[in-house]
Each structure stands twice: as C-alpha cells, then as structure tokens.
Amino acid sequence: MPSSQPTQPPQSDIATAARAPAIERVPREKLARSRVLVVGDVMLDRYWFGDVNRISPEAPVPVVHVQRQEDRLGGAANVARNAVALGAQAGLLCVVGHDEPGECIVKLLGESGVNAFLERDPALPTTIKLRVLSRQQQLLRVDFENTPAHEVLLAGLARFDALLPEHDVILLSDYAKGGLTHVTKMIAKARAAGKSVLVDPKGDDWDRYRGASVITPNRAELREVVGTWKSEDDLRARVTKLRKELQFDALLLTRSEEGMTLFTDDGVLHAPADAREVYDVSGAGDTVIATVAVSLGAGLPLVQGVALANRAAGIVVGKLGTATVDYDELFH
C-alpha cells in the first residue's frame, strides 16, 4: 500500500519568496526631474512639552506647565516633504482651515520646498493632533478635525485638472479626513492622461480607488479589506483576486518588521526589513510611498522603486518622529 499521506503542494513562505533586486545608484539629476503631485489630507502634528509638579484640585489629573511647543507637517504634507528630501519636485493639493494651525501649516510648507496648492475652507478646523508630553512620556493626545465643505472640494478637483499635466506621478494620501472625497474621479482623470497613480488607502471601501496603478496598504489596512490570511499562498490568492476586481496594477504590502511585499502580474517579490536600529516607526509608510512615487516619476522600474523604498524605510525608522531621508543617506 502506498502511504496515505496527502500530497500537498509545497507552501511558500516569506523566507523563500523571490527577493526584490539590489538597489542601483540613481543620478541626482534624474530624481530632480521627477515631479510628484500629492493630494490628500494634511495635518499638523503639535507637541507640547512641560513639567508636572502637582495634581489638579479640580480632578485627579496631572497639571502640565507647558514650556515648549513643536510643530511638524503631518499626513499628506509629510509625504510631500519626503519626496522633496529625496531631491524631487513635489506639489501638494489639500484643504486647510482659516485658523492658527492652518497658518502654521502654510508657514511650514513655505519653508519645506513643497509647492503648496492650498484650498482654504473658513468653516473647517484644520486637522491637528496635539500631544502633551512630560519627561518623554505622552500624557494625552487631543485631535481636532472635521470634513471640508463640498464647494471647497470641488474647487480642489478643478485645480487637480490644471495641475495634472505638470506632474509625472499622482500620489493620493488618504487619512480619511474627507480631502479625497473625489478620489475615484482623480484616478480616472490621471490614468486617462497616462500618469501613474499611487494610493495610500484608509478604510474598508477600496472601490473608490478602482484603477489605481499601485496601492500601498499596511497589514491592518489590507486585512480590513481581504480578511485574515492563513499563509503566504493564501495572501497571494486574496491579493490576486482583489487586484483583478479593482484593477490595481500592483499592490505593495508594507509589513513593518517583516519588510514589504510587491504583488503584480509578474509575481510576488519580497524585500526583508532593512533597519539597523528602530527608534520610531511612525511615518515610515509615508516615506515608502513617497520613494516609490519619486522613482516612478524618474522613469525607474517599479521593482527598483520598491528596493529604494525599502532602503529608505530602513533608514527613517532609525530617526525620531515623522522624519525624512535625503539623497545622500539613500545612496551613501
């Protein structure tokens, strides 16, 4: 009698997946010609630092005496900043309010080298995430946000049409704050104009991203849409089905400490995480999508863009806060 062991196809896993190519040095001038238009939700990351010496008489909570404030560009603005740091040209189309955080974003963008195309909505509180810290410890985060008005978003769509011919790649950075209400139309227009469209998604309705060239979810974001996968083969099957349904040329799954995996019609490529030391992983996803977009805008193949993005992510997680990687660091 032959053995009754079931004959199963060999299971693939991350360790045996095909590897992304080694990175090649790209001339500075080549990246400098890359023109990326970032559209999406901007926010201000604000930090208040202070001492705590007593408990409030009003409620059992610490009283922070604020001594210092630090402001940083967040969301789509951080993505645009990452593209500029690599030496590319970046435009940013987004909505901000007519308030103090809005002015702060205008000022920081002015210093950043990003070409800002801002729609102002007087009724909108600019999205701001305020962290209160004492002795390196976060005590509280306070979020202010709302959805921009309809007319303002339509004005943004008209501006998008005008900006499209001046850019090589369109990058849609969705943080679910309403800035990408017209995302489906933007993708259709950009693809009709022959541009690559990259999407950093949010939420479970990906039908709105139909037709995008490359979509870059993290593990939780992908799980929300395709469910939990049981193996690498299962993951590949779920992603293939999704890509077919929604007509994505490629899906780049960022997997934190596991690196990133690219799914296309040519197959699956994996890039293991490249970090030497990990201090702060926030914003690594922004660096990844910005690097891929800059690479495509410079005319590099997608797999080379992924290899560069993996190197850039490995560098940025070694820095504090939402940071950027510049040309010299990437190609040292």
Ligand X SMILES: Nc1ncnc2c1ncn2[C@@H]1O[C@H](COP(=O)(O)OP(=O)(O)OP(=O)(O)O)[C@@H](O)[C@H]1O
Which lies closer to Mg ion via its Cβ, residue 50 or residue 285? 285
- The pair of three-digit structure tokens given for residue 113, joined into one six-digit string: 């080298």
**How far apart are alpha carbons 164 and 169 in whole angstroms?**
9
Which lies closer to Mg ion via its Cβ, residue 26 or residue 292? 292
Question: Could you say which of Mg ion, ligand X, none residue 260 binds, taking C-beta under 5 to 8 angstroms by partner kind?
Answer: ligand X
Instruction: Say whether residue 281 binds ligand X (CB under 6 A).
Output: yes
Nearest-Å Rg of the Cα atoms of the chain is: 21
Query: Whole-angstrom distance between the N-terminal and C-terminal Cα of the chain?
Result: 62
Return the range that interacts with ligand X (CB under 6 A); candidates 14-22, 23-31, 83-91, 250-258. 250-258
Q: Residue 82's closest CA among 322, 332, 251?
A: 322
- Among residue numbers 15 through 54, which ones bind ligand X (CB under 6 A)? none
DSSP assignment letter at 218: B
Q: Name the minimum Å distance from CB 273 to ligand X.
A: 4
Q: Name the minimum Å distance from CB 313 to ligand X.
A: 3
Q: Judging by beta carbons within 10 Å of its beta carbon (0-12, 13-18, 19+), is residue 71 exposed, middle or buried?
A: middle
Size of the site for Mg ion (CB under 5 A): 1
The identity of residue 236, as a single letter, is R
What torsion do the CA atoms of 256, 218, 197, 14 make, to the nearest 10 degrees? 60
Q: Name the minimum Å distance from CB 74 to ligand X.
A: 10
Which position among 259, 270, 323, 325 is part of the footprint of ligand X (CB under 6 A)?
259
Give me the 311-330 binding string for ligand X, x by CB under 6 A, dash otherwise.
Answer: --xx--x-------------
Pairing of strands 250-254, 260-264: antiparallel
Give me the 270-299 binding string for Mg ion, x by CB under 5 A, dash otherwise.
Answer: ---------------x--------------
**Dihedral (CA of 99, 167, 308, 28) sign:** negative
Q: Which residues pair with 97 in a beta bridge?
A: 121
Question: Could you say which of ligand X, Mg ion, none residue 313 binds, taking C-beta under 5 to 8 angstroms by partner kind?
Answer: ligand X
Is 286 a residue of the active site?
yes
**How far apart are alpha carbons 186 and 190 in whole angstroms?**
6
**Footprint of Mg ion on this chain (CB under 5 A)?**
285
Which residues contact ligand X by CB under 6 A? 218, 254-257, 259-260, 273, 275, 278, 281-286, 288, 310, 313-314, 317
Active site residues: 286
